Structure 1
């Protein structure tokens, strides 16, 4: 209410002024008069002054010297003793306001000795902020220490199912089970603890800061710490797991049971071992060898190393197996199989598409049968039984690694496209060079000539690399023409088609203990041990 109305006591009497602005009521004025123990005032004059709000002083009572009173100071200290406020009630009568020294003495008498705001006290002593609570002292706030923080550089929350982007649906096959890391990859960083700063209350009492606690980085097997022990790195390629609160990097990923909805798809930078089966619709991709103890259903398996399947493949026309190395398993049924090495099957390959860069061997049991589908090998196919007594069409192709033929096809098409671009660049460069000889090139065409020259060098490099690879493929395919056999230790049934080096032979009658090979430009039949 300061400024809205004010009292003035002189020898002539007690005067009241109500300012035109401000929100003041008659009750506010009467309350102040009672507070100052002024009782013999003219109520009508007071009411008119509040109503008119002229801002002029009007006499409302005679002065009684016996009612003169000095200024009063009230104090309020916060519960945590970090703040102190005072309120100065001005004197009644011609008495002075408390000086700065008076206010400091008052605070000290009440125990306030720290953080006193002298400038605020000076304002109060000059009549500012009268009748208002004003903070005159502020303690020094305590700053508590902060514990060390471990920031993980890998997403340990990836074990939760991921949203597919179709509303609230999630892909339960993509559970993010494997967290792949590479050697030298940062796994976690430690932010050191921050020391706190003690505080002090307005009463001068110290407030102890909480001490920040240190933490160790969760270094487990397969990890290594930086020299300053503030960073944690993977010591090897592998997958991250948490054991006893520590990060571990394992070079082999093991699935204790089946690869199903409880595990999800697997993609790992190193070897993978599945102690159960791989169920239909799921995939396992290994950056090293892959071993599966259970059956492989209509799943997709791939690995950069060898693939060893302990039970076999029941593919139902959906299974796809690809390995850079050898593939070994008891049986393959209704699956597509591609090997960069050899394929070894002990029991049977039935109604499947099997391709191997090296040899396909189906032996190790009395059955040892290849029936239905197509088996292709770069070197040799060996089995106990080929085809079936039902005359099931079974095709066996040997002599040229299938992936080489596919790569040659891709390279030939790519070279044709690159050379076409080169011809176009040469034509444009020739035109620009003729213009240059006649001094007809502007800045724009000169910049174009620079870009075309750079493009020509890039195309020359790409063509050189592609031609070199194509030459190596042609040489390898030429060498493979000297090999190529299909060997059947038991029975080769009618209906089998044998293809060697592009030549076909259809078996019309059952053959036993035979080898199919090329001699003098045609496929001939020799004994098994030829």
Structure 2
């Protein structure tokens, strides 16, 4: 029998068959209809031997199979094809075409939907702290900021059959994106998106918007995380301890706030804040604050404050007016006046109140006084006359600055306190240059202003907080001067009347005196 192989070819509905017959074996190569697969069936006779690797590669090449040959499948097939046995295997697979990417929106900044951020960079991984509150899931945008670009679809990558024929790929689909509220397109191809206002990016279906409001329908907790939003935030629940909510255009919380930090350029409204005695609650507000109560917290407010129930053990810095029910403990600085039902507490808790002054001026004054004290200590310690002269000049300059700061009365200043019920002992009040420490309880209702003439505080009948202390003091002084002038006039009139009466009495006495009789003749 000849050792030359016999080769035949046969077409089938599902592809082609290539038969390679040899003395000791028969090899059938099956090519799929789309020419993306080539499978082998190898039968070895009982007294035969399988082909070698090179012979098998030669059969593949002879049938045009040149692409996607599996180099590991060939030895595996040959090992399984023992004498009297048969083996099957996939010897070659074509390269599938890769579908083109669909068009998409590529944001121009990192999204906030990232894993929790590490708050410390300690080299020891065990000592690193993870901030699990950093889970914000929306993107902030500023007005005129580029928020993203629309990327066109790609054509994809062609494939290849096992015979090396190209297989065309399909292009991706273009992004069908609609521009919603406060979004505009630009660029040469109108493929760049810009925000028209400050807000957050919100994509609903095929529409992208910039919205000014972010609503949390529940509590701010670890599921929501810290909030930093360029717009208005409404929380329909509580803000739990340790979280921060920052909203540039305003903040409304229907529930209570724990030991948290609230920040807004606009107004802030909430039910109550309790720093839990830790003083960890804080508020920074560029507008007005409305609440029922605030405990153990630090508050900085550039507008008016209305806390209708109480403020306890707080540090209040307010550049507007403050109206509250009870103010007890801590310190309070208001620029436009204070109106309170009860000031202090029956326990005589220390409560310090400044009204009519900007807290920035107070902070600066404290720094200047510390510098002045330091200069005085240097003057006391040194014995060098030249140094004493230099330090004394600096002290005098600093003293002049202190006088200017102390005399500064910014716009809106109203050094006035309205007491509707009472002032408890333990309260210290600063109004202008006047200061008074209350060692006993003082009952209201009264209005307190500075007594610019005699020093101390002037007690007036309760009047509206909108009436400026300066107008009240001016009116009081004018009225007092008018009364003084009237008293002087009355006293002068009374003197004139008394003098006239005395003169009249004298005249009458002279007229009533009898004429002297002539002397009798001798």
TM-score, normalised relative to structure 2 = 0.57
Which position in structure 2 is the counterpart of 1:269? 230
2:487 is aligned with 1:487: no
The match for 2:506 is: none
Q: 1:225 corresponds to which residue?
A: 185
SS at 1:355's partner residue? Answer: strand
The answer to whether 1:338 aligns with 2:300 is yes
CA contact (8 A) 1:400 1:481 kept: no
What whole-Å deviation, never above 9, does each CA across 1:292-337 have from its counterpart, x for those lacking one? 111111111111122112x112222221111112111111122111
> Using the alignment, how far apart are the partners of 2:436 and 2:218 within structure 1?
46
- Structure 1: which 5+ runs fail to align? 1-33, 38-75, 84-109, 113-140, 363-367, 415-469
Task: Give me the whole-angstrom Cα distance separating, in 1, the residues matched to 2:232 and 2:191.
Answer: 30
8 Å CA contact 2:340, 2:420 repeated in 1: yes
C-alpha spacing 1:407/1:254, structure 2 compared with 1 (3 Å): farther
**For the structure 1 residues 148 and 232, does the alpha-carbon distance in structure 2 shift closer, same or farther, using more than 3 Å as the test?**
farther
For residue 280 of structure 1, give the secondary structure of its aligned residue in structure 2.
Answer: coil
Change (3 A) 1:263 1:522: same
2:302 corresponds to 1:371: no
1:496 to 424, 427, 438: 427
Is 1:254 the equivalent of 2:211? no
Deviation at 1:351, TM superposition (A): 1.8
Counterpart for residue 188 of structure 1: 148
Change beyond 3 A, Cα 1:36–1:155: same
Does the CA-based 8 Å contact 2:100-2:169 persist in structure 1?
A: no
Q: Distance in 1 between matches of 2:112 and 2:355?
A: 49
Deviation of the 1:222 alpha carbon:
3.4
Picking from 445, 450, 456, the partner of 1:518 is 450
TM-score between both structures, scaled by the size of structure 1? 0.56
- Among residues 175, 194, 210, which one is paired with 2:170 in the alignment? 210
- Partner of residue 399, structure 1: 356
Give the 3-state SS of the residue equivalent to 1:384 in structure 2.
strand
Query: 2:290 matched to 1:358?
Result: no
Partner of 1:460: none
Q: Which residue of 1 is the match for residue 284 of structure 2? A: 322
Asked whether the 8 Å contact 2:246–2:263 carries over to 1, the reply is: yes
Aligned to 1:243: 204
Shift, 1:346, TM fit: 0.8
The CA deviation string for residues 6-63 of structure 1, in whole angstroms up to 9 with x for no partner, is xxxxxxxxxxxxxxxxxxxxxxxxxxxx8689xxxxxxxxxxxxxxxxxxxxxxxxxx
Q: Distance in 2 between matches of 1:518 and 1:406?
A: 21
What aligned pairs does 1:417-496 form with structure 2 within 5 A after superposition?
477-479=408-410, 483-496=414-427
Distance 1:351 1:199 in 2: 74
Q: 1:492 to 1:214 in 2, by over 3 A?
A: same
Q: Distance in 1 between matches of 2:132 and 2:158?
A: 53
3-state SS of 2:144 partner: coil
Q: Deviations over 1:136-162 (max 9, x none)?
A: xxxxx9987724332333434615433
What is the rounded CA distance, in whole Å, between the counterparts of 1:248 and 1:235 in structure 2? Answer: 10
Structure-1 separation of matches of 2:356 and 2:171: 76
Partner of 1:478, secondary structure, is coil
1:412 Cα offset (Å): 12
> Secondary structure in 1 aligned to 2:175?
coil
The C-alpha deviation readout for 1:441-465, integer Å capped at 9, x for no partner, is: xxxxxxxxxxxxxxxxxxxxxxxxx
- Say whether residues 1:505 and 2:436 are aligned partners: yes
Contact 1:189 1:217 in 2 (8 A): no
> C-alpha distance in 2, partners of 1:352/1:332?
7
Query: Gaps (5+ residues) in structure 2?
Result: 6-28, 38-61, 65-94, 372-400, 464-471, 473-522
Q: Could you say what the CA RMSD is over the residues aligned between the two structures, in angstroms? A: 4.2
CA separation in 1, counterparts of 2:431 and 2:248? Answer: 33
- Over 3 Å counting, the alpha-carbon distance change for 1:187 and 1:218 in structure 2 is farther
Could you tell me which of 119, 122, 136 is aligned with 1:176?
136
Match of 2:263 among 298, 302, 307: 302
- Rounded to whole Å, the distance in 1 between the matches of 2:256 and 2:36 is 73
- In structure 2, what is the Cα distance between the partners aligned to 1:155 and 1:412? 47
SS in 2 for 1:171: coil
Mapped to 2, the partners of 1:193 and 1:382 lie a distance apart of 66
Q: Secondary structure of the residue that 1:396 maps to in structure 2?
A: strand
Whether contact under 8 Å (1:178, 1:266) holds in the other structure is no
Residue 146 in structure 1 maps to residue 100 in structure 2: yes
1:157 and 1:381 map into 2 onto residues whose CA distance is 42
Deviation at 1:377, TM superposition (A): 0.8
